[in-house]
Structure 1
Amino acid sequence: MKWNSGRLWLRITVYSLLALLTFLVVVQSLIFWKFDEHAVRETLGRVLQEQHRSVTVRGAIKPHVLPFPGLDIDRIDISQPGNATPAITIDHLEARLAWLPLLFGEREVSKLRVDGLKVQVVRHPDSSLSIADLFQHRDTGRFRVKLDTLRLRESELDYLDESTQHHQTLSALSLDADGLRGDAHLSVGALLSGGRRPLRLALETPLTIQDDQVTLSQLQAVAMSEVEGLGESKLNANGLLRLNFAALQATGEQLALTLSSDNPKSGFTLRVPAFSASFKEITTPLATLDGQLTYGQTHYEAVARFDNVKLDEAGLNADRMAGDFSWSVGRQRINLKLNAPFTLLGMNQIRMQPLSLMAQVVTPLLPRGQLVAKMDGALDGTLDDDQLNLRVAGTLDGSDMAITVSQYGFLKPRHEATVTIGKLDLNRYLPETKDNAAVALFQDTRPIPLDWLDYVDLSGKVTIGELAFGRFRVNDVTASVLATPQQLALDQLSASIYQGHLEGSVRLQREQKPKLELKQKLNAMHIRPLLLDLFNFSRLDGVGSGEVDVRAQGTSFAELRNTMSGTVAMSLNKGALSGIDLVAALKNLPSELKQWNGAANPNQKTTFSTLSASLQLEQGVARNQDLKLASQLVNVSGGGKLDLIQSIIDYTLDVQANPHEFSRLKGVNVPLKITGPINSPVYALDFNAMVKGKKTESEKQDALKQQLKKQITTILP
């Protein structure tokens, strides 16, 4: 016999395979012949007898030989404790035994595949689970479970919390665990529903099993969902997790949870160095949060620390939260520092009280500084409604301040606020003027900054004890405020202004050139400081009332002045017109006729008891024809115009002495012309009025002589 013959080895191989196949057929035939399905059903039915559960096989039970021996079982029901209602159902189960232990008479389950597993888990009010008894050690009889491979397909886990009636379902569950006897690997996929939106879940990790403890050493999990306003969002979890199934507890180290989205671009990471968990609570001594979100030109940043955190059925609680938060839009930025206990009730209602808050506003609108506020109070809100409520009181740059504000929405927030400020001097934050002196408001040529309105949606009420802007001063300001990208409006405006009172409204419409609408009623107000601070005009003094209804358009206060149109009516009492003393000039006629001609003298003034006028404004020029000035000694009437653009005056007045005080001046009318710059006008006799109606030069000269002669002869004794 030739042992190196190829044909010989071929025969040996063929005969050996035939013999092995014959042996396997015989073994399988014996197994099927000896297999007792009824006995298997009875044995399975008694497996959970100590837990007062029944196991019922409603389908077929078939033995399996190749490649591994075992059983295929269809439609298994596991009841709830004490009754026949199914708590767990299985559509199909495949259990495989290891060959080597089987040769020594031991039945060791090494592979398990479950299809269509459905488990109902109930958390009772005492925090116990309805399936907790299934994790207890029990005698498995002639079988020993020592899995090397586990498969779950199309499974479902239904969870109900009886205390909160919170219901969630983990469906489309797929699980693959390989190498469970050594360095194992676990991968899981599922769909979680029952909340506001479904979550797609996936998990991968190395796996180590030691007695009752399972260690996930490099956990990598992800949850994805469509979040309103954020598009598709993703939650990633990384870290180390240990699960103890006997005690139903878990511990973890270096856990990082990262929430991210692409539209808008965001990323927030919660880091937990160590934690412990049970079905009652999750606790950690420290957690930190950092992240940012960008939406258009709006940018959020957050860095926070949470001490002694506890999560239970009531919600999330931290002994202390200290954080830095910022909100920036374009070149505007608000920085917030918060320090307070933190509570999230039912994972929905936020509570932070007592709250310590420091706010800082940084903006090009305040080139010389920044607004800094330090306040104490409380913050609450509801996440489901995207709402936050803040109630604080403290100081704004040393001035008393109180704020109540509600925010609706996080990506495009809308605010309702009530603000009270003791004193606000805006000059501290505006650009310095060249001569370090505040200018009159309507002489300011700097553009009015309105780009900050692009990102504001605010309504509410504001109260300011004292407000300064330029040389303008207002006290006891109250108003209803509306600020949107389209407009800035102050309605129901009320203020104490220059020892008087103001009521009305101001509305600024944003267009290529903003439009201003101003409606005001003034009462018992000192006119001189008002005109000085608004227009740098100081020639008129008195106390009185008025109504303003004007419109203007422009990008600066100077442009608004130059385009003013509308009506202004005023009535003054106990005042004076600076620059000329009409009474003295009348007394000294005719020898002092020269007093009627010349520049204004700031040391002279004409006092009056009443002065009234109504002006029509059009494109920065005010005209009126009903000016009336009355005093005990002199009466004045006339009209003219004020050019606010050029800052010039052109008025024609008729001056009459009171005949009861100056009997010798009875019938004397002095036509007076006031022209020139508003701040330094020229007063002169109105010779044009004296020669009115005369055509030739000689006629005008004769008429002028006759008028002067008449005035003088009337005055002379």
Structure 2
Amino acid sequence: MKWNSGRLWLRITVYSLLTLLTLLVVVQSLILWKFDEHAVRETLGRVLQEQHRNVTVRGAIKPHVLPFPGLDIDRIDISQPGNATPAITVDHLEARLAWLPLLFGELEVSKLRVDGLKVQVVRHPDSSLSIADLFQRRDTGRFRVKLDTLRLRESELDYLDESTQHHQTLNTLSLDADGLRGDAHLSVGALLSGGRRPLRLALETPLTIQDDQVTLSQLQAVVMSEVEGLGESKLNANGLLRLNFAALQATGEQLALTLSSDNPKSGFTLRVPAFSASFKEITTPLATLDGQLTYGQTHYEAVARFDNVKLDEAGLNADHMAGDFSWSVGRQRINLKLNAPFTLLGMNQIRMQPLSLMAQVVTPLLPRGQLVAKMDGALDGTLDDDQLNLRVAGTLDGSDMAITVSQYGFLKPRHEATVTIGKLDLNRYLPESKDNAAVALFQDTRPIPLDWLDYVDLSGKVTIGELAFGRFRVNDVTASVLATPQQLALDQLSASIYQGRLEGSVRLQREQKPKLELKQKLNAMHIRPLLLDLFNFSRLDGVGSGEVDVRAQGTSFAELRNTMSGTVAMSLNKGALSGIDLVAALKNLPSELKQWNGAANPNQKTTFSTLSASLQLEQGVARNQDLKLASQLVNVSGGGKLDLIQSIIDYTLDVQANPHEFSRLKGVNVPLKITGPINSPVYALDFNAMVKGKKTESEKQDALKQQLKKQITTILP
């Protein structure tokens, strides 16, 4: 025999194939001959008899031979315990047996494919599951289940929690498990519905099965959701997971959950070194959270630690949470340190009480420092409503402070707040002036910073015991506040100001050049410190009332001063005009007549009982024609203008002695001219008034001599 003959090998191959084919035909004939559909139905019907469940095959049962022997079964129903209502239904099932055990008379199921599986799972109030009995070991009779391959297609898992009435469904469930007898691999895909929006789920992991325990050694799962206008969000899970189906418990190690989104751009990671879980609760001794979120120019960062975390049907609870959170927008940043127990009831209601909070505000608006507040209180809120409520009290840079604030929305938050501050000195945080002295408010040429309003939507009430800005001082401030990107408004404004009272409103409209609207009523206020702190003007003193209704436009307080238009009316009592003593000058006429021309003397003043005036402002210039000053010894009337831009005064006054006090000065009218810088004006006789109506130079000189002679003669004894 020639073993290298081609014909020999051809005959061997043909005979072998014919023998194998004959063997398969014989086996198939034996299987078909032995197959008893009725017996199979009865056997399946008794499988779950101990659990008081009925298994009913409503479709056909067909034997299968190639490539693996087995059964194809249509329409299987598994009832609930004790009644005929289906709890599990299967459209089509394919079970395949292993060839080698079959040759020795053993029926070993090695492959299983299920199409159209529908399972109803109910979690009872005692935390038990309606399908828990199906995971118990049982006698399978002649059949032995030792799967190597499992397939699920177009399946559905329906879950209902009877305690919370929470209902969710896994649709289009697809599962592939290969190599289950050794180093297996599992992949799962599904669509979860029942929440606000459907979620797509996918899972990949190596798989090891040992007795009742399944180990997912390198779990990689992702949950995806898409919201119109916001893009896609993903939740990735990685770690090691062990499932014990006999005890219905799970444990895990090095679990990392990462939530990310496209718009807003975000990424948050929750790390759990170890945890244990059952259908009643999930517990872990430690969990950490870190991440960031960016939306436009708004940026959030968070780092937090949770101790002794427990998740059950009531919600999520941590014995203690310590976190560092920051919120930045543009050049502004707020840093928060939180310490509190943490509770999330029903995975919706947040509670943190007692809460210890330290807040730090860092901004170019405060180039010399930063606002630091230390407070205690409580925080709560509801995630479904995108709402947080904070109630705290403590200190702001050593001053007492209390805040109640509600936030609506997380991406574009709106706030409603009530703030009470004992004392706030903004000069501590503003740039130092070159001469280390506070500048009068309306002389400040620095741009008013308003870019922080781009990211603010705030309404509420504010109360400040004492407020300092520049040299400006007010006490007992209360106001309704509205701050939006378009405007900053203080309505129902009330304050104690320079021993008097102020009421009114302030509104700043944001445009290319901001517009200021100021409406105020002043009562019983000391005028001198107010004028000094606002305009650096100290020549007028007294106590009185007034009304202010002005408008201005500019990017700095100096520009606002230069564009002021509107009306100002005031009435002062028991005051003084510094720089000249009109009474003394009149008493000493004519010897003092020559001294009517000269600079103001800060040591001299003219006291008065009343002073009233109304001013019309237009582009930083105030004009007045009804000034009246009355005292026991002298009366003054007249008008003129105050140029706030150039800080100069130009007033014409008519000074008259009171004839009841100085009978010998009866008929004496001294025209007085006040001109020059507001802080150092020049007082002079108004010679123009004396020669009014005279045309030639000689006529003017004669009139001037006669007027002076008349004045002097009247005074002489």
TM-score, structure 2 as length reference = 0.99
Is the Cα contact below 8 Å between 1:72 and 1:95 reproduced in 2?
yes
| Distance in 2 between residues matched to 1:716 and 1:183, nearest whole Å | 128
Is the Cα contact below 8 Å between 1:301 and 1:327 reproduced in 2?
yes
| Distance in 2 between residues matched to 1:528 and 1:5, nearest whole Å | 128
Structure 1 residue 2, shift from structure 2 partner: 4.1
Structure 1 residue 29, shift from structure 2 partner: 2.2
- Residue by residue over 1:345-377, the C-alpha shift from the partner in whole angstroms, topping out at 9 and shown as x without a partner, is 000000000000000000111111000000000
Structure 1 residue 228, shift from structure 2 partner: 6.6
| Distance in 2 between residues matched to 1:181 and 1:394, nearest whole Å | 64
SS of residue paired to 2:42: helix
Structure 1 residue 699, shift from structure 2 partner: 0.9
| Distance in 2 between residues matched to 1:652 and 1:495, nearest whole Å | 35
How many pairs were matched up?
717
Is the Cα contact below 8 Å between 1:649 and 1:681 reproduced in 2?
yes
- Residue by residue over 1:468-504, the C-alpha shift from the partner in whole angstroms, topping out at 9 and shown as x without a partner, is 0000000000000111111111110000000000000
SS of residue paired to 1:530: helix
- Residue by residue over 1:57-101, the C-alpha shift from the partner in whole angstroms, topping out at 9 and shown as x without a partner, is 000000011111110000000000000000000000000111111
- Residue by residue over 1:198-251, the C-alpha shift from the partner in whole angstroms, topping out at 9 and shown as x without a partner, is 110000000000000000000000000024774210000000000000000000
Moved more, 150-159 or 27-36: 27-36
Is the Cα contact below 8 Å between 1:500 and 1:525 reproduced in 2?
yes
Moved more, 275-284 or 21-30: 21-30
Structure 2 counterparts to residues 416-565 of structure 1, below 5 A:
416-565=416-565
Unaligned runs of 5+ in 2: none
Asked if 1:274 is matched to 2:274, the reply is yes
SS of residue paired to 1:698: helix
| Distance in 2 between residues matched to 1:467 and 1:226, nearest whole Å | 49
- Residue by residue over 1:30-49, the C-alpha shift from the partner in whole angstroms, topping out at 9 and shown as x without a partner, is 32222110111011011100
Unaligned runs of 5+ in 1: none
| Distance in 1 between residues matched to 2:682 and 2:593, nearest whole Å | 15
Structure 1 residue 385, shift from structure 2 partner: 0.7
Structure 1 residue 3, shift from structure 2 partner: 4.0
| Distance in 1 between residues matched to 2:368 and 2:27, nearest whole Å | 95
- Residue by residue over 1:300-353, the C-alpha shift from the partner in whole angstroms, topping out at 9 and shown as x without a partner, is 000000000000000000000000000011111000000000000000000000
Structure 1 residue 655, shift from structure 2 partner: 0.5
- Residue by residue over 1:542-583, the C-alpha shift from the partner in whole angstroms, topping out at 9 and shown as x without a partner, is 000000000111111111101111000000000000011111
- Residue by residue over 1:673-711, the C-alpha shift from the partner in whole angstroms, topping out at 9 and shown as x without a partner, is 000010000001101001111111111111111111221
| Distance in 1 between residues matched to 2:26 and 2:104, nearest whole Å | 19
| Distance in 2 between residues matched to 1:35 and 1:705, nearest whole Å | 148
| Distance in 2 between residues matched to 1:228 and 1:290, nearest whole Å | 27
| Distance in 1 between residues matched to 2:282 and 2:228, nearest whole Å | 28
SS of residue paired to 2:513: coil
| Distance in 1 between residues matched to 2:496 and 2:26, nearest whole Å | 110
Percent identity of equivalent pairs = 98
Structure 1 residue 19, shift from structure 2 partner: 2.9
| Distance in 2 between residues matched to 1:23 and 1:537, nearest whole Å | 119
Which residue in the other structure is 1:123 paired with?
123
- Residue by residue over 1:253-286, the C-alpha shift from the partner in whole angstroms, topping out at 9 and shown as x without a partner, is 0000000012221100000000000000000000
| Distance in 2 between residues matched to 1:465 and 1:557, nearest whole Å | 24
Which residue in the other structure is 2:200 paired with?
200
Structure 1 residue 119, shift from structure 2 partner: 0.2
Structure 1 residue 26, shift from structure 2 partner: 2.8
SS of residue paired to 2:139: coil
Asked if 1:321 is matched to 2:321, the reply is yes
| Distance in 1 between residues matched to 2:324 and 2:505, nearest whole Å | 38
Is the Cα contact below 8 Å between 1:356 and 1:376 reproduced in 2?
yes
Is the Cα contact below 8 Å between 1:649 and 1:678 reproduced in 2?
yes
Moved more, 322-331 or 224-233: 224-233
| Distance in 2 between residues matched to 1:228 and 1:434, nearest whole Å | 55
Pair 228,327 (structure 1): closer, same or farther in 2 beyond 3 Å: farther
- Residue by residue over 1:400-437, the C-alpha shift from the partner in whole angstroms, topping out at 9 and shown as x without a partner, is 00000001111111111000000000000000011100
| Distance in 2 between residues matched to 1:570 and 1:83, nearest whole Å | 92
- Residue by residue over 1:491-522, the C-alpha shift from the partner in whole angstroms, topping out at 9 and shown as x without a partner, is 10000000000000111111111111110000
- Residue by residue over 1:598-649, the C-alpha shift from the partner in whole angstroms, topping out at 9 and shown as x without a partner, is 1101111000000000000001000000000000111000000000011000
| Distance in 1 between residues matched to 2:25 and 2:209, nearest whole Å | 37
SS of residue paired to 1:81: coil
What CA RMSD, in Å, does the superposition of the two structures yield over aligned residues?
0.9
Is the Cα contact below 8 Å between 1:229 and 1:411 reproduced in 2?
no
| Distance in 2 between residues matched to 1:263 and 1:315, nearest whole Å | 28
| Distance in 2 between residues matched to 1:525 and 1:554, nearest whole Å | 28
Is the Cα contact below 8 Å between 1:197 and 1:225 reproduced in 2?
yes
| Distance in 2 between residues matched to 1:123 and 1:441, nearest whole Å | 69
| Distance in 2 between residues matched to 1:32 and 1:183, nearest whole Å | 35
Asked if 1:31 is matched to 2:31, the reply is yes
- Residue by residue over 1:94-120, the C-alpha shift from the partner in whole angstroms, topping out at 9 and shown as x without a partner, is 001111111111111010000000000
Moved more, 424-433 or 34-43: 34-43
SS of residue paired to 1:16: helix
| Distance in 2 between residues matched to 1:442 and 1:4, nearest whole Å | 114
Pair 308,150 (structure 1): closer, same or farther in 2 beyond 3 Å: same
| Distance in 1 between residues matched to 2:437 and 2:463, nearest whole Å | 27
Is the Cα contact below 8 Å between 1:673 and 1:684 reproduced in 2?
yes
Structure 1 residue 590, shift from structure 2 partner: 1.6
Pair 696,250 (structure 1): closer, same or farther in 2 beyond 3 Å: same
| Distance in 2 between residues matched to 1:108 and 1:633, nearest whole Å | 125
Structure 1 residue 5, shift from structure 2 partner: 2.6
Is the Cα contact below 8 Å between 1:567 and 1:616 reproduced in 2?
yes
SS of residue paired to 1:219: strand
SS of residue paired to 1:574: strand
Pair 228,356 (structure 1): closer, same or farther in 2 beyond 3 Å: farther
Moved more, 298-307 or 697-706: 697-706
Is the Cα contact below 8 Å between 1:88 and 1:117 reproduced in 2?
yes
SS of residue paired to 1:252: strand
- Residue by residue over 1:160-209, the C-alpha shift from the partner in whole angstroms, topping out at 9 and shown as x without a partner, is 00000000001110000010000000000000111111110000000000
| Distance in 2 between residues matched to 1:367 and 1:230, nearest whole Å | 37
Structure 1 residue 132, shift from structure 2 partner: 0.3
TM-score, structure 1 as length reference = 0.99
Structure 2 counterparts to residues 150-165 of structure 1, below 5 A:
150-165=150-165
Structure 1 residue 597, shift from structure 2 partner: 1.3
SS of residue paired to 1:501: strand
| Distance in 1 between residues matched to 2:128 and 2:434, nearest whole Å | 76
| Distance in 1 between residues matched to 2:264 and 2:126, nearest whole Å | 42
| Distance in 1 between residues matched to 2:303 and 2:52, nearest whole Å | 52
Structure 1 residue 589, shift from structure 2 partner: 1.2
| Distance in 2 between residues matched to 1:327 and 1:521, nearest whole Å | 39
Structure 1 residue 595, shift from structure 2 partner: 2.5
Structure 1 residue 12, shift from structure 2 partner: 2.9
| Distance in 1 between residues matched to 2:73 and 2:432, nearest whole Å | 88
| Distance in 2 between residues matched to 1:544 and 1:296, nearest whole Å | 51
| Distance in 1 between residues matched to 2:452 and 2:12, nearest whole Å | 92
| Distance in 1 between residues matched to 2:287 and 2:96, nearest whole Å | 45
SS of residue paired to 1:126: coil
- Residue by residue over 1:279-300, the C-alpha shift from the partner in whole angstroms, topping out at 9 and shown as x without a partner, is 0000000000000011111110
| Distance in 1 between residues matched to 2:19 and 2:514, nearest whole Å | 100
